[in-house]
Amino acid sequence: MLSALRLLQAGQQVTLIERTKLGLEASWAGGGIVSPLYPWRYSPAVTALSAFSQHVYPVLAEELLEAVGIDPEVHETGLYWLDLEDEASALEWAARADKPLHAVDIDEVVSRVGSLGRCFARALWMPGVANVRNPRLLKALRATLLAMPGFSLLEDVGLVGLEPLPSNGFRLLLKSGSLKAERVVIAAGSWSGRLLSELGFDLPVEPVKGQMILYKCADDFLPSMVLAKGRYAIPRRDGHILVGSTLEHAGFDKTPTEEALASLKASAEELLPGLADAEVVGHWAGLRPGSPEGIPFIGEVPEYPGLWLNCGHYRNGLVLAPASCELLKNLMLGEAPIIDPAPYAPAGRLGRL
């Protein structure tokens, strides 16, 4: 959707094809933290996209709110990392990258986050980290697109084949009928590899299941995001608390499980003991588009001019989206790229079936 928005704003005509309804997969299911969970563990390629996007989100939220009256709720809370094993690496990264990440006394954290469990000994703090309410972001994007000239939406439409045309462009074979396009962008998350396999390519993007739970608490129950032992709690402005998430290799099965529910509740209650008395009001699963080192594929497939990729963002689809889509637009329209596009180029990163 954000790829479509940026291309429309640049004067292009866009038809968006969705096999079910827009925004019901990983973008809806994730937590919406506008930062990689452990930014120091990622390559410079991921960091470059993240740094650009973090500055864009407040502006994007205002743009969408003004356009359609739906607030994506970019909520700046800061983030505490608790009892990190690689704390020294994190601090070294922060010093090297000039990031405001620093150690804080655990008693100070407890005084600020009264709901925090008392089993933690150390903490790192980064102010300014925000989260976005991703279901509202998706509603706002959908409504904005539908109001724009030059946009067509085909929902509940399965794409079953992609045929290069002799002159240029492609014929897209749908479950019923077909259409032609001068250029095609594959931005289908975990399903992107299936689409590209039609042309004989092995795109190393695979589904990685993640389960989340949602609580409803008082508005002031949790003032900041907290993360420990790979699990996090994210406060929304109205008191909803998201806790996630699992990492499961289960193919395209996204059925929530009782085992994951019990594990997430245990993590939630260790982080925030008060949640033991709170009701779980939601439990769901989504499929992340896993990729090597979490580096997305952004660019043109060399063997098929006009075929573009914007996929494989793994755990960072929301945080990397503004930069990824701006870079895609730059490359498609021959603009100066916002960052070096080389690390994301499909060339040399695709196998053959």
Report pLDDT for 167. 85
Kindly indicate the confidence band of residue 12, based on its pLDDT and cuts at 50, 70 and 90. Answer: very high
Is the pLDDT assigned to residue 255 strictly greater than 90?
yes
Domain boundaries, the chain: 2-25+137-205+293-352
Residues 113 and 129: their CA atoms lie apart, in Å, by 16
CATH topology of domain 2-25+137-205+293-352: FAD/NAD(P)-binding domain (3.50.50)
pLDDT reading at 342 higher than 90: yes
Q: What is the mean pLDDT of residues 48-62?
A: 95
Q: What is the mean pLDDT of residues 172-177?
A: 92
Q: What is the pLDDT of residue 353?
A: 85
Amino acid at 111: S
pLDDT tens column, 97-156: 999 999 999 999 999 999 999 999 999 999 999 999 999 999 999 999 999 999 999 999
pLDDT one-digit tens code per residue, 139-160: 999 999 999 999 999 999 989 8
Q: Over pLDDT 70: what percentage of the chain?
A: 100
Burial of 39: CB neighbours in 10 Å, binned 0-12, 13-18, 19+: buried
Partnered with residue 271 across adjacent β-strands are none
Task: For residue 75, give the 3-state DSSP assignment.
Answer: strand
Is 176 a residue whose pLDDT tops 90?
no
**In 115-194, where do the E strands start and end?**
123-126, 130-131, 151-154, 159-164, 170-174, 178-181, 184-186
Ranges of H-type helices in 120-171: 134-146
What average pLDDT does the segment 246-250 reach? 96
b/e per residue, 153-172, with b = 16+ CB within 10 A? beeebebeebebeeeebbeb
Q: Are 209 and 220 in contact (CB under 8 A)?
A: no
Q: Read out DSSP for 261-319?
A: HHHHHHHHHHH-GGGGGS-EEEEEEEEEEE-GGG--EEEE-TTSTTEEEEE--GGGHHH
Give the chain's mean pLDDT. 96
pLDDT at 245 over 90: yes
Residue 243: per-residue pLDDT? 98
Q: What is the pLDDT, as a whole number, of residue 155?
A: 96
